[in-house]
Amino acid sequence: MLVTMGGLTEKGEWKQYDFLPFAMLWKQWQTVVLKLIRNGVSEREKKRIQPRPQKAFTNNGQGFYVYAPKQRGKIKEQLRYIGRYIRRPAIGINRVEEYDGQYVTFKYEDKTDGKEKRETVSVDEFISRLIRHIPDEN
């Protein structure tokens, strides 16, 4: 997501910002994602999958985590970070440590504590996480 460093007030005046209200962003992102899921399926499918989005909402009371560097006013650093993320795949092949046909083990840096972690998930879960990063056409 790219955002402006400000916006227009109700009176039409420009108000400059150099930060994002992350707590609000997390809750809004959660709402948008869950609405897209609900609106993207038939009524029959909604009934079948409803417990999953509801559980995702309940288990994530602060919203879905969005990683963004908390750098007030360091615009060049923020643009460098965004540019790097845009041109690289969601996960490099060097981070995939094992694949046995059913499970994938990979390593990643946890953005909350900066530590390298490993996780093993089913192939379906791995693909599900990976395709979230594929942008829509155009």
**Is residue 19 a contact partner of residue 72, using CB atoms and an 8 Å limit?**
yes
What pTM does this model have? 0.39
Q: What is the pLDDT of residue 18?
A: 67
**Is residue 31 a contact partner of residue 64, using CB atoms and an 8 Å limit?**
no
CA distances from residue 125 to 6, 22, 26, 65, 131 in whole angstroms, order as listed: 38, 27, 22, 18, 10
One-character DSSP codes across 98-121: EE-SSEEEEEEE-TTT--EEEEEE
pLDDT tens, per residue, the chain with 138 residues: 556 677 888 998 988 876 667 777 778 878 888 888 888 888 888 888 888 877 888 887 887 766 655 556 666 776 666 666 556 667 778 889 999 989 999 999 888 898 999 999 998 889 888 877 666 654
CA atoms within 13 A on the CB side of 55: 4
Say which DSSP state 66 is in.
-
Kindly list the domain boundaries of the chain, sorted by start residue: 91-131
Cα-trace Rg, the chain: 18
